[in-house]
Amino acid sequence: MATFSAPKGVPDYYPPDSVAFLAVREGLTRQARLAGYSHIELPIFEDTALFARGVGESTDVVSKEMYTFADRGDRSVTLRPEGTAGVMRAVIEHGLDRGQLPVKLSYGGPFFRYERPQAGRYRQLQQVGVEAIGVDDPALDAEVIAIADAGFRSLGLTGYRLELTSLGDDTCRPQYREMLREFLFALPLDDATRVRAEVNPLRVLDDKRPEVREMTADAPLMLNHLSDSTATHFASVRRHLDALGVAYVINPRMVRGLDYYTKTTFEFVHDGLGAQSGIGGGGRYDGLMAQLGGQSLSGIGFGLGVDRTLLALQAEGIAVGQPSRCEVFCVPLGEDAKVRMVTIAAALRGEGIRVDLAYGDRGLKGAMKAADRSGARVALMLGERDLATGRVGVKDLTTGEQREVAMVDVVDEVQNVLHD
């Protein structure tokens, strides 16, 4: 019979390596907790218009990559391609912005983009993200960036760099875009690039083709045309990062795949990953909340790629996460012994001890082999004869030492061996 495969571009994380997945997600989230970000759990799908309006119609994410479908009530819904728009929707809907500001939220989970799958580029991707909403303070920009940096470092990563720029805001970007457009239209660009220059001229600066790079080498850069207030903001972000010891390089040609960014914008790039080198990115989005019908509040956040962080760890040869091994392995021999052993296992689990059992009646030899393979520290053995005497065999699997203990003492005895 034909078997099934996971959909194209959708990774599975299974044992033993799935512990690394959890360790990455927890490691990245922990830094946000330490800085006072509270968890928000959001829907996997939303109204399609939320992403069209929030992320931007001209982006690849919205125009080419969304998983959009009509539900049975004929509403157009979309599997979330990113987290920021959903967070803003929830903040506005539940009035979270009416309390103390900034609202600091963190989230994690799967996101969906219909991209061409390749190493490190998936159709279901996993992120850990934060959003800090309602205060336009450069110190908050630096906090958000430093959380991401601390998250990567806490996992042991070192082979990445933080790229930083400012994309300006309403007070300076429109003029700059015009200037850039004029510059680009004077170049002998091909038709497709010309269209891109019309829709979003900044994207042309990110073109990787050498001939386009060469032509745009002298293009005007946003960083050199910031208004006084955005320039001051950017200088302050840098000052805070310097004080925190967070290293960065300025990349004035950075182009993000989402349209909502203003001012501070950043990306974490890992050298060991080939083409899909962005392990995380984010920035300010000061106009987004108003655009989604909320008050005019600023915001800044990031999304860190869990899948790519795992690949980066592999590239650096770093193992994270403890295998979820049991501490105790129970070997019952016979039906009555099994019924009794199950209750002993439950009592041990009740004490927070990780316990597994030999299922499937494979005899003493086979069951002891399973106990050894399980990596447990202690094996418990119970036969029909032990049932009559009320005793259990307790074997320390590292020393080979074995003792018979009264059934009522078994939890204490196991704890003794484990804490030896």
Q: Which residue ranges make up the site for ligand HAM (CB under 6 A)? A: 82-84, 113, 115, 120-122, 125, 127, 129, 131, 257-258, 278-283, 285, 301-303, 305, 307-308
Q: Shortest Cβ distance from residue 301 to ligand HAM (Å)?
A: 3
CB of 126 vs ligand HAM, minimal distance in Å: 8
- Paired residues of 132 in beta bridges: 104, 300
Q: What is the largest CA-CA distance in the chain?
A: 95
Q: How far is the CB of 123 from ligand HAM (least distance, A)?
A: 7
Q: Which is nearer to ligand HAM, 284 or 391 (CB)?
A: 284
Shortest distance (Å) from residue 384 CB to ligand HAM:
55
In terms of Cα–Cα distance, which of 288, 366, 277, 279 is closest to 329?
366
Q: Which amino acid is at 175?
A: Q
Show the tokens assigned to 305. Answer: 């790629």
Shortest distance in whole angstroms from residue 36 CB to ligand HAM: 17
Q: Of the two residues 80 and 377, which places its CB atom closer to ligand HAM in the complex? A: 80
Which is closer to ligand HAM, CB of 307 or CB of 386?
Answer: 307
* β-strand partners of 118: 121
| Residue nearest to ligand HAM according to CB distances in the complex | 305
Contact 345, 330 (CB under 8 A): yes
Rg, Å, the chain Cα set: 28
Distance of alpha carbon 318 from alpha carbon 235, whole angstroms: 35
For ligand HAM, which is the closer residue by CB, 46 or 386?
Answer: 46
Contacts 24+ apart (CB under 8 A), 293-299: 293/92, 294/88, 294/91, 294/92, 294/97, 295/97, 297/97, 297/101, 297/133, 297/134, 298/133, 298/134, 298/135, 298/136, 299/84, 299/88, 299/131, 299/132, 299/133, 299/134
Closest CB to ligand HAM among residues 134, 283: 283
Q: How far is the CB of 308 from ligand HAM (least distance, A)?
A: 4
Which lies closer to ligand HAM via its Cβ, residue 87 or residue 189? 87
Question: Considering the complex, what minimum distance in angstroms separates the CB of residue 319 from ligand HAM?
Answer: 20
Residue 151 Cβ, how far from ligand HAM at the closest point, in Å?
A: 12
What's the burial of 290, exposed, middle or buried (CB within 10 Å: 0-12/13-18/19+)?
middle
Q: Which is nearer to ligand HAM, 120 or 134 (CB)?
A: 120
Q: By C-beta, is 131 or 386 nearer to ligand HAM?
A: 131
What's the min distance (Å) between Cβ of 94 and ligand HAM? 19
Give CA separation, 136 vs 133, 142, 412, in Å. Answer: 8, 12, 57
Cβ-based nearer residue to ligand HAM, 233 or 308: 308
